[in-house]
Amino acid sequence: MAGCLFLPVLLFSLTTVFVDGKNPPGFISIDCGLVNETSYVDNNTKLTYQADDDDDSLINSGKSYSISAEHKTNSLDRQFWYVRSFPEGNRNCYVLDNPSRGNDSVQYLIRARFMYGNYDQQNSTPKFDLYIDVSFWDSVEFDNASSIVTKEIVYPSVWNDQIHVCLCKNKGTPFISVLERRLVQNYGSEFGFGGILMARLNLGSEDGKIVRYPDDEYDRIWTPYYSRDLSPISTSLNVSVDDSMYTTFSVPSIVMKTAAIPADFSDYIAFSFSPMNDFSMYEPLLYFTEIQNLSNQIREFNIFVGEDNHWSPSEPYQPPYLYAEAYDVEGLYGATGRQNVSETNISEAILLVVTVNKPNNTQGFHSSISKRLMLLSNIKKKVGSKKQQLTYAEILDITNNFERVVGKGGFGTVYHGHLGNTQVAVKMLSPSTQGYLQFQAEARLLTKVHHKCLTPLLGYCHEGTNMALIYEYMPNGDLAKYLSGLEYLHKSCKPPIVHRDIKSRNILVDEKLRGKIADFGLSKIFPEEGESHVLTVIAGTPGYLDPEYYVSSRLNEKSDVFSFGVVLLELITGRPAIRKSEEKAHIIQWVSCMVPEREIHDIVDSRLGGEYECGSVRKVLDTAMACAASSSMNRPSMSEVVVELKQCLAMEMTPQSIIQGTTFT
C-alpha cells in the first residue's frame, strides 16, 4: 500500500561554528575497516574519523576489506573505501559508550552506513539485519554494488551504560562501512517519539550537494530532491531560524534558503512512498518560510495527507475524526501568519490550509517553527448514553470555580468536585493537540470497558474549547504517593486493549486502598487473535517505557507488562523509576546490581519497618524483574503475573492467620 503527500506549494528550507578536525561533544565517527592509519579529517565535514581496529572496546571481531577499484571513484566519500565484514558468527556488535546515560533531555542519533562495492569479489549483494541492543532496528538490502544504504535511529540516553549496534546474518555475510553517533539535545521531545528515519529531503537545491555538518549542527544528512514537475527557487538573503518556541527539529539556514514550486503553477507537488509494512506509522515534518517578495499578496495553499484516509501523520483516525499536523509559520520579523481551515467531507483526504505572510523587509527573512496544528472536524459530542453530559457552567459549579487542584498530567489539570453526593475528579483538557486526541481516545474507551480495577467515567463536558472528563474521586491519590484490571484489558476485552502508559501515578487508590487504573488517553486497541503486535507512534512515560517498543514501534501487551514491572519495583524499594542523581539511574539497573550482593532488607523500602514475609517479597521481586526483562518474549503475561502475586499474598497472610487461629483458603 502506498501513501501520498500532496503539497500545492512546499517551501523547505542553522549554521554552527566549528574547528577543523575537532569533533563536537558527543560525536563519534568510525570508519569501519580502515587500515594503515588510526584516524583522518574528512574533507567535507572536517570531522575526525577513527579506525575501528585501534580500540578493542569498539569491536573485536570481523575482517577488514577494501572495496574493488572500479567502485572507488573520486566522488566517493573516503569513509566507504573500506568495510568490516563478519563471515563468522551470527551476531557481531559494536559497543559505543553512553556518557549521558540517565539524562532524559539527551538523545543520540545513531547512523550506520553501508556500501558493498564488491569488496569480496563475489558480485552478490547480501541482505542482513541490524539490531540496537536487543531490539530489531531494520534490514539492510542493496539495489546494486555501488548503492549506499543509510540507517538512522534516535536512541534515548536514559537506557544503558553502553549502546550495542549489532549486525546479524540473514542472507549473505553482514558488513558495515561507517558508524556514527551524534549527541542531540531534546530531539523530538515535543512529539513524544524518537523513531527510525525514512527520508530527509532538501527541496530546491540547485548544486546537488548533500547538506550535513557543519551546516547542520546535528550532522543530519539532507538529500537533494529533484522532480521534472518542480521548479527550484532560492534567495541569497539570510534566513534566520527562530527556535524560541521549538528548539528541536531546527533546520539549517542553507536548506531554508532554497525551495520548490510546481513547474506548472496550476499543478500541485506530490510525494509518494511505500511503507515498510502494513502497520508502519509515519510522522512527516514539514518546514516553511517565505523567500519571495509577494508584493502585498498572501501565499495560501492546502496540504493533503493520504489519498483515502488510510494514512495520516500520526494515529490513523477514521471518520468522523480529522487530524492533520504541520507547523504554524510566522511571517517576516515575527508577523504571525494565519491558519484557515476549509470544510471537507469527513470521508475525503485530510485537509490543512497554511497561510504565509508576505515579506515586509527585503534585508533578510525570518522564519519560526512554532507549533503543531491539530484539526478536528465534526467531532461527535455524544460520548455514551449512560454517561452524564454536563455544561461548562455545571463544571464550574461542581469544582467551585476550580478551587482545588488534586493532580496534573501531560494533557491537563485535575480538580476535586462534587456531583450530587458523589466526590468526583474533573480532568480539564488543555488546548494542546494531544489533549484533543486523548479526550477522544479516553472517552471512547471508558464508555466500552468496565471493571472494578479501572477508574470509572461518570460524565463529560464538550462545550467549544472546554473539554472535561469526570471520574470517581480516589481519596488516597495515586500509587506513587503511597491489579487485575490490567489483566482484564489484555484478556477480557474483545479486541484486547494495551494501556500504553502504566505507571505509579496512573494507578489511583480508593478509600479501601484498592488500586484502579486510570488515564486511558494513550491506550491502543490490540490486534485480533493471530496478530502479535501493532506498530504505532511512540508514546508513554520515560522510565516506564518498554525499550523494545521504543526502538521498534511494535506495541503488544508485554509492553504494559514491562511498565507494570517497574511499578512493582517502585512498590518494593520505595524508589522512583528514574533517579538522575545516581550512577544507576533507572530502578531496574539499581535492583539488578543489588540483588546478587545484598540481603532482601537492603532492597525493600525501609519505611516498611521490616514487617513483611521475606519469601513473599522475594517472590514479588522476582516477578517484577521477570516483567522488566529487556525482551518481550521473556516476560510473563499479565495472567501469569496475577497468579504469582496471589501466591505472594497467600504467603504474606498465612503466618498471621495461623497466629490468630484461623485458616486461609
CB–CB of 188/250 below 8 Å?
no
Assess contact for 391 and 409: CB atoms under 8 A: no
Look at residues 93, 95, 286 and name the one whose alpha carbon lies nearest to residue 176: 93
Residue with cell 569498539: 58
Q: Which of 252, 137, 270 is nearest to 205 (CA)?
A: 252
* C-alpha span between 119 and 64 (Å, rounded): 10
| CA angle 181–184–188, rounded 5-degree value | 120
Distance of CA 597 to the CA centre of its chain: 35
Among left, alpha and beta (phi > 0; psi -120 to 50; other), residue 334 is: left
Listed residue (132, 129, 134) closest to 149, CA to CA: 129
Distance, in Å, from the CA atom of 246 to the CA atom of 647, rounded to the nearest integer, reads 50
Q: Other C-beta atoms within 10 Å of 61: how many?
A: 13
Per-residue CA distances from 655 to 493, 552, 611 (Å): 37, 46, 12
Report the amino acid identity of residue 279. Answer: F
Could you tell me where the DSSP H helices lie in 472-512?
Answer: 484-487
Output the CA–CA distances (angstroms, integers) from residue 470 to 396, 400, 452, in the order listed: 12, 14, 17
Q: How far apart are CA 409 and CA 412, in angstroms?
A: 5
The residues facing 238 across adjacent strands are: 364
Does the active-site annotation cover 501? Answer: yes
Cβ-contact 453, 484 below 8 angstroms: yes
CA distances for 191 relative to 267, 386, 537, angstroms: 32, 34, 9
Alpha-carbon separation of residue 102 from 8, 159, 581, 583 (angstroms): 44, 7, 9, 8
Please give the Cα distance from 104 to 340 (Å, whole number): 36
Task: Give the C-alpha distances (Å, rounded to integers) separating 192 from 154, 155, 440.
Answer: 12, 13, 18
**CA-angle at 229, arms to 288 and 328, nearest 5°:** 15
What is the DSSP track for 594-654? HTTTS-HHHHS-GGGTT-S-HHHHHHHHHHHHHHT-SSGGGSPPHHHHHHHHHHHHHHHHH
Nearest residue to 495 (alpha-carbon basis) of 543, 529, 444: 529
DSSP string over 129-158 = EEEETTEEEEEE--SSTT-EEEEEEEEETT
State how far the Cα of 175 lies from the Cα of 184, in Å rounded to an integer: 27
Annotated binding residue at 427?
yes
- Per annotation, catalytic residue among 501, 519, 546, 560: 501
Annotated binding site: which residue ranges? Answer: 427
Catalytic residues: 501
Annotated binding site for ATP: which residue ranges? Answer: 427
